[in-house]
Chains A and B, each alone.
Chain A
Amino acid sequence: EADIYQTPRYLVIGTGKKITLECSQTMGHDKMYWYQQDPGMELHLIHYSYGVNSTEKGDLSSESTVSRIRTEHFPLTLESARPSHTSQYLCASSNHDGGANEQFFGPGTRLTVL
């Protein structure tokens, strides 16, 4: 079973609030990812990191920002939440030692912005 955690699992907030979604993994993986997924739709990569102090924007434009100060921790921040940010946010991690290097997913944070 993958050791990747996300908090909170559910969040309902008002427009304009600053929020941080937490993601941590205990597998020592160097690569971490944030995806956004609307119900019944595909996962869209919004941020990824291939190591400490390295972050890149993903394929879907997002107003969120990320940081990677420690290997195990990859938080995502929205400075001013809007209703359009309502979605499920999934964090994932993977290793780099060859082979499948499958991504392991956290349980997700379901965000609702009123």
Chain B
Amino acid sequence: GQNIDQPTEMTATEGAIVQINCTYQTSGFNGLFWYQQHAGEAPTFLSYNVLDGLEEKGRFSSFLSRSKGYSYLLLKELQMKDSASYLCAVRFSGGYNKLIFGAGTRLAVHP
């Protein structure tokens, strides 16, 4: 199967740290992406993991464990503008770079 599971909603406080988890069940795994999507807008690329471990990019980090079919996106020093949906997407081999998207996690950041 190619199910991508992530929590539907999360809330956090400005300045805090939040972790958004993603689990996937897919054969031929060939990379995992995180995208940010503000309401009514297009998704924008945040991070990419293909090997196990942590990728850090400013306030955002993404982790991958291929053996567990698990990834998380870590957002530090949360700002109000981080309120958005965060989409986990998996690419599989031989698929012409096709992605399977999860339903997204809606993050609400409160003052």
Question: Which A residues lie at the B interface, using CB under 8 A?
Answer: 31, 33, 40-45, 48, 50, 56, 58-59, 90, 94, 96, 99-108, 110
CB of B99 within 8 Å of the partner chain: yes
Complex Cα gap A44–B44 (Å) = 16
With A41-B103, A100-B48, A102-B48 already in contact, the answer to whether A48 and B42 are too (CB < 8 A) is no
List of B residues within 8 angstroms of A105 by Cβ: 42-44
Consensus secondary structure, chain A interface: loop
Q: Which of the residues A56, A103, A107 comes within 8 Å of B97, measured between beta carbons?
A: A103
19 pairs from A and B in contact (CB 8 Å cutoff): A33-B98, A40-B103, A43-B101, A45-B98, A48-B98, A50-B96, A59-B98, A59-B100, A90-B43, A94-B97, A96-B97, A101-B97, A102-B33, A102-B45, A102-B48, A103-B99, A106-B42, A108-B41, A108-B42
Q: How far is the CB of A76 from chain B (nearest CB, A)?
A: 16
List of A residues within 8 angstroms of B87 by Cβ: 42-43
* Inter-subunit contact A31/B102 (CB<8 Å): no
With A48-B98, A100-B31, A101-B97 already in contact, the answer to whether A42 and B45 are too (CB < 8 A) is no
Question: Which B residues lie at the A interface, using CB under 8 A?
Answer: 4, 31, 33, 40-45, 48, 50, 87, 96-104, 106
* Inter-subunit contact B42/A107 (CB<8 Å): yes
List of A residues within 8 angstroms of B40 by Cβ: 110
Q: How far is the CB of A82 from chain B (nearest CB, A)?
A: 23
With A100-B31, A105-B44 already in contact, the answer to whether A42 and B101 are too (CB < 8 A) is yes
Q: Which residue of B lies closest to A50 (CB)?
A: B96
Q: Which residue of B lies closest to A6 (CB)?
A: B42
Complex Cα gap A107–B31 (Å) = 24
Complex Cα gap A58–B99 (Å) = 10
List of A residues within 8 angstroms of B99 by Cβ: 45, 103
Complex Cα gap A2–B4 (Å) = 26
* Inter-subunit contact A103/B96 (CB<8 Å): no
* Inter-subunit contact A43/B43 (CB<8 Å): yes
With A31-B96, A105-B42 already in contact, the answer to whether A42 and B103 are too (CB < 8 A) is yes
